[in-house]
Structure 1
């Protein structure tokens, strides 16, 4: 095994229109000692063919073709076959800045951490770009990093925009067959770290696709978000019971996210009522928590005025987003 080899895990499923841009950004990284693991998860477009073509062009590229098992299964498959000392996950419809890996690796070595994080920017189909980055860096304790993630304070749960010591995956896998798989995994990786190095510059480019899993119409699988969030809550509280407020905030946020995705469906009315009841039951605790983002407070006040009112404002927000 090469010293400081970094494995880039790329799950690939029907992303032919996006793959060239992604691969160009990975192949041309300023940090050269990488292996690029392309996991074709049973693509039915020409993504599989493109994978093989890239393999012929760069000897750092390894390609695996497998039956479709979903994003988590593809990530796990690639991670198990990685040779690197460190691992980073990239979604193949996104792309990265050319110094993405170098930036994350320098954070890990500078702060002697097992995990580093950078920020991202969001690219919309209409050309709009939302920038989340700024300057600076710091090292956080595992507990502080978790707390900030639970409050959505810069730190998020995404699998991407992070570099991991491969040892963190010894007993952790992405949950196969589940949506929102990063909710059920990232916190487990953080819990294993003494500290986490955080850089505030944006180095990852997240593409908003209308046909993505997050943006597609509501289906029962989207209740996975609640299951994953509540499991995370239980695990975090076992180790850090004093993070109760932060955990509750994340659980309420997950209910809002689910409610927003249910707004256009006339089905699942009982489940919708349960979600609304949960939010209202915990509304006081959220409203008086000074660390809760202002948007959460506004959402709760609108919901307390009545779901129809909340729904009107949510639809207005979506149209202007």
Structure 2
């Protein structure tokens, strides 16, 4: 019987003591056994580093590494350098995965006779505050071109920008590195992975549990580093528009989404000092309103946001807050 290939699971760790054991337990219990689990402690100041060493001491598949704080991208890139597996997958240390997470992704590649170099699955959003679970998948399994994945990613149609919930051939990550020193590094890399793939094996079952909590990068209060979402999105959009001109509308929609997301952060943080950036965002949204709303693939979320904004910023701020609260009940 042919031995299954080694799969490297790379987990950057930084000050996630309350969540780390749940994450590592879910990884240790994977039904796919031929794995190496690389834990990169990125200069944690809590007990995360001790937990990493504890798990490494008891499981020979686990390799623990400690480094001075270099950020998420640096930790992932160093994990890639250490990894020896034929395939790589990333998991964030405050999330967790289903027992068949790795087996499911590998199975997608196997069903496609390993023609695809990348497999993806869906996320299960877990709202820490309410305990609510939101399944982002539909159970479908399909092989798409890299270009089709880019289009779906831009419109948020099942395909996500995230670095996790993917299993990629080693050679992909030899060509694509995470940009160090920036937030939203997944937006800067996932589109490159898709562009390198003729086909992608997609399974839209939720095998990755994405925990939405206060204090995470996405949910924390506004600071100017958050503006890097626009930088990364615009860089991605420029590539898509140049490489696939027929996807220009899709790329523009993603740029609009990034503006609404950043605007929400600014408006909901009373300490935010971003008046000039807010004006630039509003100018971009106004300039592209007609084109985005004329696109039949523009999601309902964006149409609602534009409608709210048409009544002015105070109404938009109030109405969007209600919308967000209703969404996570």
Question: Normalised by the shorter chain, which TM-score bucket?
Answer: over 0.9
Q: From 277, 286, 290, give the equivalent of 1:284.
A: 290
Q: Does the CA-based 8 Å contact 1:87-1:165 persist in structure 2?
A: yes
CA distance in 2, matches of 1:136, 1:230: 30
Q: Deviations over 1:68-115 (max 9, x none)?
A: 011111011101110000000000111000000000001112222110
Q: Size of the alignment, in residue pairs? A: 320
Match of 1:223 in 2: 227
Matched, 1:304 2:305: no
Between the aligned partners of 2:267 and 2:167, the Cα distance in structure 1 is 36
Partner of 2:76: 75
Identify which range, 96-105 or 208-217, moves more after superposition: 208-217
Could you say which residue in structure 2 is the equivalent of 1:96? 97
TM-score, scaled to structure 1: 0.97
1:209-233 CA deviation, whole Å, 9 max, x = no partner? 1111111110000000000001001
State how far apart, in whole Å, the 2-side matches of 1:317 and 1:267 are.
24
Q: Does 1:16 align with 2:17?
A: yes
In 2, Cα distance between the equivalents of 1:57 and 1:261?
42
Distance 2:226 2:139 in 1: 35
What is the rounded CA distance, in whole Å, between the counterparts of 1:289 and 1:35 in structure 2? 45
Q: CA deviation at 1:133?
A: 2.5
TM-score by length of 2: 0.95
Instruction: Provide the C-alpha distance between the structure 1 equivalents of 2:86 and 2:156, rounded to a whole number of angstroms.
Output: 29
Where do 1:1-321 residues align within 5 Å? 4-111=5-112, 112-125=115-128, 126-264=130-268, 265=270, 267-320=273-326, 321=328
CA RMSD of aligned residues (A): 1.2
SS of residue matched to 1:170: helix
State the Cα distance separating 1:257 from its structure 2 match: 0.6
| CA distance in 1: counterparts of 2:17 and 2:280, whole angstroms | 40
Residues 17-43 of structure 1: per-residue CA shift (max 9 Å, x gap): 111111111111000000000000001
Measured against aligned partners, the alpha-carbon deviations of 1:159-205 in whole angstroms (never above 9, x if no partner) come to 11110111001121111111111000111111100011110111010
Contact 1:3 1:85 survives alignment (8 Å):
no
